[in-house]
Chains A and B, each alone.
Chain A
Amino acid sequence: SAVISQKPSRDICQRGTSLTIQCQVDSQVTMMFWYRQQPGQSLTLIATANQGSEATYESGFVIDKFPISRPNLTFSTLTVSNMSPEDSSIYLCSVLIPGQGNYGYTFGSGTRLTVV
């Protein structure tokens, strides 16, 4: 399976600021996903980021709040903009490796964000 490096692993940020989370994969992947896991909750998909196209956002998530970049097949960033305490969550990237069927979904180790 792919190896994903996600940075930063954690951060404490002031409200009103922005944080950019990076996800680096050791192989080329077409499909990358960004998830949010709020305290005590399960994972919720924020958006799908495919190289060469605009990210596709899920209901309740908008590009102005969570802009995503996908400059190449091994890298993506998610920015959490104009943060508020409600944005305190774990943010995870995930990739799908083609041809590996059901075993192709791999997750980064997550970014634990606290907004104060």
Chain B
Amino acid sequence: RKEVEQDPGPFNVPEGATVAFNCTYSNSASQSFFWYRQDCRKEPKLLMSVYSSGNEDGRFTAQLNRASQYISLLIRDSKLSDSATYLCVVNWVDSSYKLIFGSGTRLLVRP
């Protein structure tokens, strides 16, 4: 089983749609969780951290379910500029600073 698993997509949605990405992680002792965004031929950039209580940043909502070892990202009112690959990232348990990346979910927002 992969350490961090994501649906690779692509998700092809119209502008204005709501889209949700899911991610599961294998190590129950993992401590920190993130969503990164990676544009084509660019480096990953932090989109948001994920907290147990859930957190929202504008059109983006992240949720964490520790019992199910499941992380989600919801994007509302999709924009063309949201087209990118979204990486689910987990802070590995045996080193408090090492990040483990999922393979990414590709989102295409069409006009």
Contact = CB atoms under 8 A, between A and B. Distances in A.
Interface of A: 31, 33, 41-45, 48, 92, 94, 96, 101-103, 105, 107-110, 112
Interface of B: prevailing SS: loop
A109 B43 contact: yes
Interface residues of B, number: 19
Contacts of B101: 42-44
Contacts of A33: 98-99
B98 A48 contact: yes
Contacts of B97: 31, 48, 96
Contacts of A45: 98-100
B93 to A, nearest CB: 14
A48 B43 CA distance: 18
A105 B103 contact: no
Given A31-B97, A33-B99, A105-B99, 13 more contacts: A42-B101, A42-B104, A43-B44, A43-B87, A45-B100, A48-B97, A102-B49, A103-B49, A105-B46, A107-B43, A109-B42, A109-B43, A110-B42
Interface of A: prevailing SS: strand
B34 A102 contact: yes
Contacts of B98: 33, 45, 48
Contacts of B59: none
A38 to B, nearest CB: 11
B100 to A, nearest CB: 8
5 contacts: A42-B101, A96-B97, A101-B49, A109-B42, A109-B43
- Report the 4 A-B pairs with minimum CB-CB distance, sorted nearest first: A102-B49, A107-B43, A43-B101, A42-B101
Contacts of B42: 109-110
A110 B102 contact: no
Contacts of B41: 112
Nearest to B51: A102
